[in-house]
Amino acid sequence: MNLILLGPPGAGKGTQAKRLAGMGLPQISTGDILRAAIREGTELGKKAKPLMEAGQLVPDDLVVGIVEHRLRAPDCSRGFVLDGFPRTIPQADALSVALASSGRKIDRVISLEVPDQEIVDRMAGRRSCPSDGSVFHVLQSPPKKEGVCDVCGTPLIQRSDDEPQTVQKRLTAYGQQTAPLKEYYEKEGILYRVNGLASTDQVFADILKLIGP
């Protein structure tokens, strides 16, 4: 099963992708890959940092190259879940070409539907593990010990792009550049909408229903 999780910032893509990864579908998160590049101080990280901090998208050619490379890894041969990619129509076109070259295609695109006001609240309460990418929320899904990752014990951080002003810019970028992908995949007959306001367990159950046994 080759899946895309689509949705605005904070819709729960990372939360659900991690649960799917636990079932053996590797998670490919361009946001996590870019944040790792920033931490490591690579050329990619240096180019991405100011754009991400400003709530803008990183240029297509940079992210497409990353994803094409990742999709060639052996663990993706039996399926994968894309989290945060594609985010523009050129990215979606490039993905389709890359997959076709190895006889693959996207099977389902799951759109997590969440209104803007809920997004702002979620971002304010999100805490992330800089080491393993685990995601928590101070009210909805707090870590067992305050401020510390349940999985690896690393102190949790608040992402620099989760400030309300930057969240607003990310929502604008989503509306202008990413939301048109819903129509793109609807035309292909592979778009499925899920109520992202439901509990994380319910959202996961709804996704499982859509991807089958």
The identity of residue 81, as a single letter, is: V
Q: Which residue is nearest to ligand AP5 (CB)?
A: 31
Q: Sort strands 2-6 and 80-83 into parallel, antiparallel or unpaired.
A: parallel
d(CA 22, CA 153): 19
Q: Which of 3, 4, 6, 15 binds ligand AP5 (CB under 6 A)?
A: 15
The answer to whether 82 touches 96, Cβ cutoff 8 Å, is no
70 binds ligand AP5 (CB under 6 A): no
Q: Which two tokens stand for residue 85?
A: 């990619």
Nearer to ligand AP5 (CB atom), residue 172 or residue 213: 172
Residue 158: Cβ within 10 Å count: 14
Binding-site size for ligand AP5 (CB under 6 A) equals: 36
Stretch that binds ligand AP5, among 69-77, 99-107, 119-127, 179-187 (CB under 6 A): 119-127
Which residues, numbered 169-198, are part of the site for ligand AP5 (CB under 6 A)? 170, 196
- Residue 128 pairs with which residues in a beta bridge? 135, 157
209 is a catalytic site residue: no
d(CA 202, CA 211): 14
Nearer to ligand AP5 (CB atom), residue 77 or residue 195: 195
Task: Determine phi and psi for 182, rounding to 5 degrees.
Answer: -65, -45
Q: Which of 2, 4, 6, 12 binds ligand AP5 (CB under 6 A)?
A: 12
133 binds ligand AP5 (CB under 6 A): no
Task: Give 103's contacts (C-beta < 8 A, 6+ positions apart).
Answer: none
Positions in the binding site for ligand AP5 (CB under 6 A): 7, 9-15, 30-31, 34, 51-52, 55-58, 63, 84-85, 87, 91, 122, 125-126, 135-137, 140-141, 161, 170, 196, 199-200, 203
Residues acting as catalytic residues: 13, 87, 126, 159, 170
